[in-house]
Amino acid sequence: MYQIVRILISASPVVMGVYLLFGVLANIAASNSASSWPMVTGTITETQVSGVFSLYDRQSYLSYTYQVDGIRYTGHKVGFGNGAVSGYRVNQAISVYFNSYDHQASVLEVGFRSSYFVTAFIAVGLILVGKILWKRLE
């Protein structure tokens, strides 16, 4: 019975860390891929930031429009992972990166962001905590 408890206690942070690490690696890959997407000019149509905080950022909402081949699209994604919307204003002209195979897929920010580093650091920390717990509970 003790071995089961030991496994559960030490495996939990490892599983969370691996999950976060894979998530951040997927976001880095997607963001780097998006940096080669075509870019058009768009306009911010709505921003909303509430005072309620989530795990990473305030609860926020952003909407923008852009046109590709004469067709108007609406996007909501700042970047891959969490993106802060507080720096955007309604009616602000923005650069929109869109997927050339799926014009509805778009983002405002591409490339490596510091939040990726922070998330990866937390993920590695959780994995190390799991390893330490495994050793301590022997």
| Residues in the chain, total | 138
pLDDT, tens digit only, all 138 positions of the chain: 778 877 888 889 999 999 999 999 999 999 999 999 999 999 999 988 765 555 555 567 889 999 999 999 999 998 887 667 778 899 999 999 999 999 999 999 998 777 788 889 999 999 999 999 888 887
Q: Where exactly are the structural domains of the chain?
A: 1-35+114-138, 37-110
Exposure string of 8-45, with b = 16+ CB inside 10 Å and e = fewer, is eebeebbebbeebbebbeebbeebeebeebeebebebe
pTM: 0.76
Q: Which residues contact 120 (CB under 8 A, 6 or more apart)?
A: 20, 21, 24
